[in-house]
Amino acid sequence: MAVNLPEAALAHASEGAFVLLLPTDAYIAGGVASVALTVLLIALVPEARAHGMFGARRIASAGRWRGQMVTSALSAVLLLWAVSQGLAGTQDPVRNPLPLLVWSGMWLFLLSGQGVLGDLWGWLSPFRMTAALPGLFGLRPLLRYRPRWGYWPALLGYLAFAGVLMVHIAPTDPDRLAVMVLGYWGWTLAGCLLFGPRWLLRGEGLTLLMRLFARLAPLRRQGGAWRLGLPGWELERRAAPALSLAVFMLLTLALGSFDGLNETFAWLGWIGMNPLEFTGRSAVVGQNLAGLLLAGPLLVAVYGLSIKAGLVLIDAGGFRQSFRALAPAILPIAFGYHIAHYLPAALVEGQSLWNLLRTLLGLPEIPVTTGFFNRQASVRVIWLSQAGAVVLGHVLAILMSHAAAIRLHASHRRAALSQAPLALFMVLYTLFGLWLLASPRGA
């Protein structure tokens, strides 16, 4: 992308060259200061205000959704067509409908839309229809899904998906992608045959990821009404997630972070790869796989230590409960990273997607341009938008974790104190995220 994935950084002087000319040190300082200031302010606001932060206002009543099964079936038909095109159509990934729909349409745009607009995936997921299929034929689930399995199967599915995204040497190759999509689809169908539609909620990583990000949207349906609140309000109203779900939430940030890190000069230097002569994904399969597998445990460890340190500060126990209750606060950071990381790719891929639509309508293609990476003014706007997404994600994370801590520890003061190590972690993570954006990239 850049690529299809943003992995298509450019060997010539382009966006990255202009970023290096921007006063990013000052921007980074400003971003980090904003997050640090949020930490201070949240500790100083009156307790009542802090409690009510994530309240939601009822906007209108909402009836039952109708037609989601129809749109899901249409989406499944579209995906089937795209798969057939992947196998038999042009193998140019910027023209074949399959990589465009999967990587650009779903991964770049739809996942970004989830966090802002809500659960579009509920309408557009081809798997919803898939899950209903056995029931239509009168088939009952063959096995019972054990509660103790939690969300671990979904976590494995998500890891596999990330493996294709970050490690596979040709994730956008249409015919190989077609086989992988069919494999994932078949796996999902098998899960639904065995365990029923419940599989989508517990065992299917993409749907779980989509649903989690959708809970960040400010406008949500709840209790038969549309309600509007601070982004993430719905997550704040829910019970603490199960341990497996909490780990899944942390994994979204870990993988998103590694996906940015593995393109930087710094990472390429560490693994002994010349960033000016990056020899392709096939040369870094081992390194990317190791990073993919280690990023999660590393982040879980650092997060866990921050939680533990906070509990030590207020002399409290309940590590497991805190670990779970504070994990949703990581989601807005991960979502901010997703927006920031994929914005440049989306600007290019959006054009290819638009061209696909034009081609289907019989209109001529418009030449895809990357001219906006060649002007200082537009590169500045793009960079500041990316940085804005990272900073806003962290600010929201600070607010969400504080609200969760108040519930855990009952007192505003104790909550603030217990949050100090996690807040420090988030401030440093802001620094890391903005550094990633400002770093020269070579892969």
Partner 1 sequence: MTEIPSKTKTGLISPTRRGALKTLAAGAGAAATMPLWARYTSAQSAAPIKIGFGKHATGIGAAYGRWYERTSVAALAKINAEGGINGRPVELVTEDDGTDPRRAAEVLEKFANQSDCDVAFGTLFSHVVVGAAPRAGELKLPYFVVSEGHHVASGMLNRWTLQPGITDVKSQISAMAPFLTGTLGKKVTMIYPDYAFGYDHRDNLAPAIEAAGGEVVAKIAIPPTETSFTKYFPQIPRDTDVIYHVMIGPAVLTFVKEMGEFFGPSRPEIFGFIDSLEATDLTSPGLEFLDGTYFWEGNPRYLQADAPDYVKAYRDAVGLDENGASVSDPSDVSTSAHMFGCWETLHIIKAGMEAAGYQSTADRQKLVEAVEVMSMMEAGPAHPQGTKMFNGKTHQVFGPQYISKVEGGKLSVVKTVPYEETIYPDEVDYTSMSF
Q: Which residue ranges make up the site for partner 1 (CB under 8 A)?
A: 1-5, 7-14, 16-21, 90-95, 169-170, 172-173, 265-266, 268-269, 274-283, 366-372, 374-376, 378, 440-443
Helix (H, G, I), strand (E, B) or coil at 267: helix
Tell me the C-alpha distance between 263 and 256, whole Å. 12
Calculate the dihedral angle through the C-alpha atoms of 179, 184, 186, 191, rounding to the nearest 10 degrees.
Answer: 170
Residue 262 has, within 13 A of its CA and on its CB side, a CA count of: 26
Tokens at 317, concatenated: 């126990």
Cβ proximity to partner 1, 2 vs 253, nearer residue: 2
HSE (side-chain half, CA atoms, 13 Å) at 338: 25
Tokens representing 202?
A: 């517990």
Pick between residue 205 and residue 275 the one whose CB is nearest to partner 1.
275
- Closest distance between partner 1 and the C-beta of residue 432, in Å? 18
Work out how close the CB of 170 gets to partner 1 at its nearest, in angstroms, rounded to a whole number: 6
The CB-of-92 to partner 1 minimum distance in angstroms stands at: 4
Alpha carbon 394 to chain centroid, angstroms = 14
Q: For residues 130 and 172, which CB has a smaller minimum distance to partner 1 in the complex?
A: 172
CB 193 within 8 A of CB 91: no
Return the number of the residue (96 or 114) whose C-beta is nearest partner 1.
96
Closest to partner 1 by CB, 123 vs 265, is 265
369 or 385: whose CB is closer to partner 1? 369
The least CB distance from residue 162 to partner 1, in Å, is 18
Q: Least distance to partner 1 from the beta carbon of 275, Å?
A: 6
The partner residues of 220 in beta bridges, in order of sequence, read: 227
Minimum CB separation of residue 284 from partner 1 in Å reads 10
CA dihedral of 6, 9, 14, 16, whole degrees rounded to 10: 80
Q: Which residue has the tokens 């901010």?
A: 336
